[in-house]
Amino acid sequence: MIEFLNSIDLSAIAPFIAIGFAAQLVDGALGMAFGVICSTLLVSVMGVAPARASAGVHLVEMFTTGASGISHVLHKNVDWKLFARIAVPGVIGGALGAYVLSNIHADVARPLVMLYLTCLGFYLLYKALTYPQMPKVKDAKVTVPLGLIGGFLDASGGGGWGPVVTSNLLIQGTDPRKTVGTVNTAEFFLTFTVSAMFLFTIGIEAFTQVTGGLLVGGLLAAPLGGYIAKRVPPKTLLLMVGIVLTATSLFSLYKALS
């Protein structure tokens, strides 16, 4: 055990700890964006291959979403009918997205992933500028296609399930508390499936020091999410995330296409 710890290169893993820490701070306050932030910084700044970035992010999210899901179940924040309507197609879409990303060359995947993350960044900017929205509570009509697309984009881009699915359900007028609880609980099964698919298609080498760094950083920041949520307005955080994601993704997309 001591030899294993001594073999760890702290200087190499430190950037990934920082990324996991920063992403979890935002996610703890907003309830979304951990995967998007991690994937964007890993791919565009650290130069990690899209498949490996997505694999590492989803393995870490297994722990964070698992804890979050248990909490929401205990607090009765889960609409089980809605859960079934988004979780099953979400798992199918996630498995398909992981398989596709694992079987195409990184040079092909990178611009596609960055284009998706750029669009997501613009969407977060729009969401921040139009926040808050208080729609009347009603049952969601579009769920299966939303879960399928959300799962596929989350796996292929390394993040996006929360922003895509939660926001679209809220636009349809669902109850905010039930929506957040249900989507977060369903995300555990999505991340578990995606991680298993990456393990099957890429192998254990997909989970390297990137995964360890993100996990350490995420666990260190987890207790601070509530503190930040009380003092920084969600609109401000959304705007900051949107600006960072859009700028970083556009720059990376430019480099990939030039």
Provide the greatest CA pair distance for the chain. 59
SS (H, E, C) 127-164: HHHCCCCCCCCCCCCCCHHHHHHHHHHHHHHCCCHHHH
Return the pLDDT at 154.
79
Q: In this structure, what is the dihedral angle of CA atoms 198, 92, 184, 140, given to the nearest 10 degrees?
A: 160
Return the pLDDT at 4.
39
* CB of 6 closer than 8 Å to CB of 199: no
Return the pLDDT at 10.
67
Residue 67 to residue 58: CA distance in whole angstroms: 14
Return the pLDDT at 246.
82
> pTM value?
0.69
Residue 205 carries which DSSP code? G
From first to last of its 258 residues, what are the pLDDT tens digits of the chain? 344 345 556 677 888 889 888 887 877 666 677 777 888 788 878 788 777 777 778 778 788 777 777 777 887 888 999 999 999 999 999 888 877 877 766 566 667 777 877 887 788 788 778 766 555 677 888 899 999 988 888 777 666 787 778 878 877 878 877 888 888 889 889 888 877 777 776 666 555 667 788 888 887 887 676 566 556 676 776 787 778 778 877 877 777 777
Q: Which residue has the tokens 């195409």?
A: 104
Domain residue ranges of the chain, discontinuous segments joined by +: 15-257
